[in-house]
Amino acid sequence: MSSTDPPRGSLGTDRRPNRGPNNAFLLAQLGAHAAQIFARLVTEVNLNPPQAGLLRAIATEPGRSQQDIAAQLGTAPTRLVALADDLDQRGLIERKRNPDDRRHYALYLTDTGQDTLKTLGRIAGKHDNLLLAALSSAEREQLHDLLTRVVTQQGLGRGVHPGYRKLGELKRD
């Protein structure tokens, strides 16, 4: 901070008149709001956000083991197995023994899982439009570029929601 910058206030506010909350607070506020909206939208396909995220992770690289996906998402393997069990029982994914290591299962989307993922893509577009309705197309692109830069600078896994790290602490649904 230079000597010409105004001093920052406490609790995420800036002391400049009418400035309001700082960017970190606004991002946290919007993130919580976005998570609530997404949770409501994915009920259309009878999923919760962690289940939707697991489908996406499996589709990104089919055939990976449950352990590999759990490591990528930063969640406990036991929690991921519980999510996979539910998706398997519902016919959205299938497990196949890994031919190189029979102790591990490789995860794949079924045809029903592929269809559900396509619907989730439409839901994600609707979610984006609901959240960013106040922005023009150019502003949306600019925001995306800026947020991508911050995500990279912070060392966050691209496409990995930080909420997965807490899944190991949650009880099975």
**Residue 171 pLDDT class (50, 70, 90 cuts):** very low
**What are the pLDDT digits (tens) for 48-71?**
999 999 999 999 999 999 988 988
CATH number assigned to the domain with residue range 46-157, chosen from the 4 options 3.90.1570.10, 3.30.70.890, 1.10.10.10, 2.60.120.920? 1.10.10.10
Query: Cβ distance 93 to 51 under 8 Å?
Result: no
Beta carbons within 8 Å of 29's beta carbon, 6+ residues apart:
21
Average the pLDDT over 1-13 and give the result.
51
Would you kindly state where each structural domain of the chain is located, as residue ranges?
A: 46-157
- pLDDT over 90 at 1, yes or no: no
What is the mean predicted confidence (pLDDT) over 104-118? 95
Q: Tokens standing for 50?
A: 């962690």
Q: What mean pLDDT do residues 67-87 have?
A: 89
- pTM score, two decimals? 0.77
For Cα atoms 148, 154, 158, give the angle at the middle one, nearest 5 degrees.
Answer: 50
pLDDT tier, 100 (very low <50, low <70, confident <90, very high otherwise): confident
Per-residue pLDDT of 114-162, as tens digits, reads 999 999 999 999 999 999 999 999 999 999 999 999 988 988 866 666 6
Q: What is the mean pLDDT of the chain?
A: 85
